[in-house]
């Protein structure tokens, strides 16, 4: 029954994404798409793919840095393949990739999944803080462009104002305080299964924190984090170069578009379909790219990226058991 319920939820989310996609592309002439694909410089698409692989390799090395202090020495190749499984799974199950990569790496490296979840939490915190820092910088640089965006789409400004209203902020603080008081001070679920789950989450988080505190070179970790975001940015920028109508746009415009498209990926939709396209199209429109050209650019950029994830994710799932047929994981004392 649970699998049926989850299947219905994922199907509904996919339907919402596809509906958003259809709304944006229903009036686009298929000949325009055909011409856009013909005019595309596929050399830059290949460069984008290579930049993406570099980001995934860097992410694999960074994850190993968090795992090693816990007493395990997984192969970089296994971690890299698990990262590819992550992106592959996200195209099918929103937010399911993190669980998938921990599960498959746990299987072949014999590392408790709970400890991997702890390191994954630290990774997500590092990525979120980096994204927030970049967002502040990019938004300050492009304050005028943002004002124009909210002028063209007042509904976003209204929703943001409602979200950040004084009432919501106060309610949020009250909720957090109540959670702390109920679960950590009163602890009404002591000695229950629910309490056991809460304690497990605490242990997982502590394991993750332990891994970051025991890093031999924290600057190396920070460097990989920044490198990953740089590769993601350049992946988008070189696709600008691949498509003639956007080939003249600067790296600064790519930064703004990258940040806006990143916000769209917060939507719980497979691969950000629909929401990602909307943000990219509207961002490019602010910089003089017509909506028809923006539609074709977003279609090219998203489709090729998703295709690469599907291909590499499928390859990873196939070769994982082959590469690890006679492999014995290395464990050492933490």
Query: Helix, strand, or coil here: 286?
Result: helix
Taking CA atoms, 311 is separated from 103, 129, 213, 315, in Å, by 20, 30, 36, 6
Q: Which helix (H) or strand (E) holds 60?
A: helix 42-67
Whether residue 260 contacts residue 294, with contact meaning beta carbons closer than 8 Å, is answered with no
- Please enumerate, as own/partner, the contacts of 254-260 that have beta carbons within 8 Å and a separation of 24 or more: 255/134, 255/138, 255/141, 256/138, 256/141, 256/142, 256/145, 256/283, 256/287, 257/283, 257/284, 258/232, 258/233, 259/134, 259/135, 259/138, 259/139
87, part of any domain: yes
257, part of any domain: yes
- Residue 231 is part of which domain span? 35-323
Tokens of 159: 């929703």
Tokens of 304: 């090729």
Mark 165-186 as b/e (b = at least 16 C-beta within 10 Å).
Answer: eeeeeeeeeeeeeeeeeeeeee
11, part of any domain: no
Q: How many distinct structural domains can be found in the chain?
A: 1
8, part of any domain: no
HEC per residue, 165-200: CHHHHHHHHHHHHHHHHHHHHHCCCCCCHHHHHHHH
7, part of any domain: no
The dihedrals phi and psi of 72, each to the nearest 5 degrees, come to: -130, 150
Whether residue 150 contacts residue 144, with contact meaning beta carbons closer than 8 Å, is answered with no
How does DSSP classify residue 72? Answer: B
334 residues of the chain, pLDDT tens digit each? 555 555 566 566 666 666 666 777 777 777 888 888 899 999 999 999 999 999 999 999 999 998 888 888 899 999 999 999 999 888 888 778 888 999 999 999 988 888 888 888 888 888 888 888 888 888 788 777 767 776 776 765 565 555 556 676 677 677 767 766 666 665 655 666 666 666 666 666 666 666 666 777 888 999 999 999 999 999 999 999 999 999 999 888 898 889 888 877 766 666 677 788 888 888 888 888 888 898 899 989 988 888 888 899 899 999 998 888 888 887 765 5
Distance of CA 10 to the CA centre of its chain: 18
2, part of any domain: no
73, part of any domain: yes
- Give the pLDDT of residue 34: 86
Tokens of 241: 């170069």
- Give the pLDDT of residue 42: 93
16, part of any domain: no
The CA distance from 254 to 247, in Å, is 11
What pTM, to 2 d.p., does this model score? 0.79
């Amino acid at each position: 029954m649970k699998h049926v319920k989850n299947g219905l939820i994922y199907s509904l989310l996919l339907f919402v994404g596809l509906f958003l996609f259809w709304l944006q592309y229903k009036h686009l002439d298929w000949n325009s798409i055909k011409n856009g694909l013909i005019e595309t410089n596929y050399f830059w698409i290949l460069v984008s793919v290579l930049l993406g692989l570099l980001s995934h390799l860097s992410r694999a090395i960074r994850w190993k840095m968090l795992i090693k202090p816990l007493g395990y020495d997984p192969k970089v190749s296994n971690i890299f393949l698990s990262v590819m499984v992550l992106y592959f799974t996200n195209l099918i199950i929103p937010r399911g990739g993190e669980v998938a990569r921990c599960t498959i790496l746990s299987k072949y490296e014999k590392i408790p999944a709970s400890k991997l979840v702890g390191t994954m939490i630290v990774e997500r915190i590092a990525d979120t803080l980096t994204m927030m820092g970049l967002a502040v910088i990019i938004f300050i640089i492009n304050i005028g462009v943002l004002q124009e965006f909210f002028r063209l789409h007042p509904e976003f400004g209204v929703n943001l104002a409602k979200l950040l209203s004084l009432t919501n902020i106060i309610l949020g603080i009250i909720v957090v305080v109540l959670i702390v008081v109920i679960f950590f001070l009163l602890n009404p679920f002591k000695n229950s299964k629910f309490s056991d789950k809460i304690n497990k989450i605490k242990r997982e988080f502590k394991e993750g924190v332990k891994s970051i505190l025991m890093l031999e070179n924290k600057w190396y970790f920070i460097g990989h984090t920044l490198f990953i975001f740089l590769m993601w940015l350049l992946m988008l920028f070189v696709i600008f170069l691949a498509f003639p109508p956007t080939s003249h746009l600067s790296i600064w415009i790519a930064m703004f578009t990258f940040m806006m498209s990143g916000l769209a990926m917060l939507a719980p939709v497979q691969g950000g379909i629909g929401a990602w396209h909307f943000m990219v199209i509207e961002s490019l429109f602010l910089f003089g790219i017509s909506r028809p050209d923006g539609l074709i650019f977003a279609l090219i950029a998203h489709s090729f990226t998703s295709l690469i994830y599907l291909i590499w994710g499928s390859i990873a799932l196939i070769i994982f058991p082959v590469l690890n047929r006679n492999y014995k994981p290395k464990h050492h004392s933490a």
